[in-house]
Copies of this chain bind each other. A is one copy, B any other.
Amino acid sequence: MISLADLQRRIHSGELSAEAAIAQSVAAIDAHEGTIGAFVCRAGEPRAAASGPLRGVAVGIKDIIDTSDMPTEMGSAIYRGWRPRADASVVMLLKQAGATVIGKTTTTAFAANDPTPTLNPHNHGHTPGGSSSGSAAAVAAGMIPLAVGTQTGGSVIRPASFCGVAAIKPSFNLLPRVGVKCFSWTLDTVGLFAAGVEDLACALAAITDRPELLPDAAVRTPRIGVVLQDFAGAPEAASEQALGIARVAAERAGASVRTLALPDIVAEAWRIHGTIQNFEAHQAFAWEYRENYDAMPPLLRGRLDDSRDIAPAAYDAARGVANRARRALFEVFNDVDVLLTFSAPGAAPKGLASTGDTKFNKLWTLMGVPCVNVSADVADGGLPVGVQVIARFGDDAGALNAARFVEKVLARG
């Protein structure tokens, strides 16, 4: 994989030109794209910017995010050839920071359930996960150092876990959603994929112009609360092992680690995530569902067919639960710096029919808290498995610091 932080250092020192860095990504895409299928569209003649902390960084943009100079097709025939007028805000922020948009990455249709043909770079017989399939796979295959995705259930952290890359779903709205196709306005969150946690921190700091997100020279030892999310059911052995290994490695390195039970209201929030997502989806996709029913992607259409009867009162009650759970979760972080939990139920499922299950992600999306995937273990079949580091709302710096700690202690073996 291409390390963004390493690229920055080499460009800054003059060892590598920004143009050469972009050319390196173009060559890597030429080499791997035919097999992996991570892109739906590539930039014609990508050029490096002259300045900016992300000059020389080739970035892939999930194809539900508007671009002014490339189509935005949402993974659906309904938007075949669609050309937005403007760049989405996050695309402009990337350009302002010097990044080069190298192409649009595959997305499950409307970032929902219908899969893409993208292959998992670690094992071509397995899904890369979704919905940000192409963004995770393109980074994992070493094609690009940075990619943008979105998460409404588990569409950033889960594919990152399946593809063995680092990813952050930042605090809600830290990265702007203007120009991003809406699934659920309460949940949709823009996130980033990169080779490692330091790379994520450098990218997020540059995009948001928040230097406090830059990685500190020294990684602080965090107080960690392990949560098992019993309400979501049990994970597979691979994820259980990954969490166990991460826990032991963190303890050995001197972190205080203890198992925490989450307040009941937080478990209740896990249960009502779908009520909020589906109620809002009926409004967000009203035009597609009503005016283009036959052309709708079948899994999303079925989901909407099955959720037509959510009453406004049920939705209002669900939002009340979410608000109370956010306040309760805030207090959990009085005693620990971060939570550590599963990134996914296990390694990437076999085949491409399903992109996997969001059950260990959806609570944290609803809570709006920053989540980082750290690649922790390699299961049978060469498939990676990640663990998820979660901090208090707004403490993206804390999430990234603790994730770097976990990444470091795991690397020590």
Contact = CB atoms under 8 A, between A and B. Distances in A.
A181 B93 CA distance: 18
A68 B292 CA distance: 12
What is the oligomeric copy number?
2
A95 to B, nearest CB: 8
Nearest to A83: B85
B173 A92 contact: no
A290 interface: yes
A89 interface: yes
A299 interface: no
A24 interface: no
A152 to B, nearest CB: 13
Q: How large is the interface on A (under 10, 10 to 19, 20 to 34, 35 or more residues)?
A: 20 to 34
Interface string A277-288: 000100110111
Given A85-B79, A394-B316, A287 B68 contact: yes
Interface in A289-325: 290-291, 312, 316
Contacts of A210: 312
A207 to B, nearest CB: 10
A96 B290 contact: yes
Contacts of A179: 287
A235 interface: no
Contacts of A283: 89, 92-93, 176, 178
Contacts of A17: none
A286 B209 contact: no
A312 B85 contact: no
A182 interface: yes
A231 interface: no
Nearest to A286: B92
B287 A92 contact: yes
Contact of A288 (B86, B284, B286): B86
A33 interface: no
Nearest to A88: B287
Nearest to A82: B85
A208 interface: yes
Contacts of A287: 68, 86-87, 89, 91-92, 179
Contact of A185 (B82, B85, B173, B284): B173
Contacts of A86: 287-288
A177 interface: yes
23 contacts: A86-B287, A87-B286, A87-B287, A89-B283, A89-B286, A89-B287, A91-B287, A92-B283, A92-B286, A92-B287, A92-B290, A93-B283, A96-B286, A96-B290, A173-B185, A176-B185, A178-B182, A178-B185, A178-B284, A179-B287, A208-B312, A209-B312, A210-B312
Given A86-B287, A89-B284, A96-B286, 13 more contacts: A68-B287, A87-B286, A87-B291, A89-B283, A91-B287, A92-B283, A92-B286, A92-B287, A95-B290, A176-B185, A176-B280, A178-B283, A208-B312
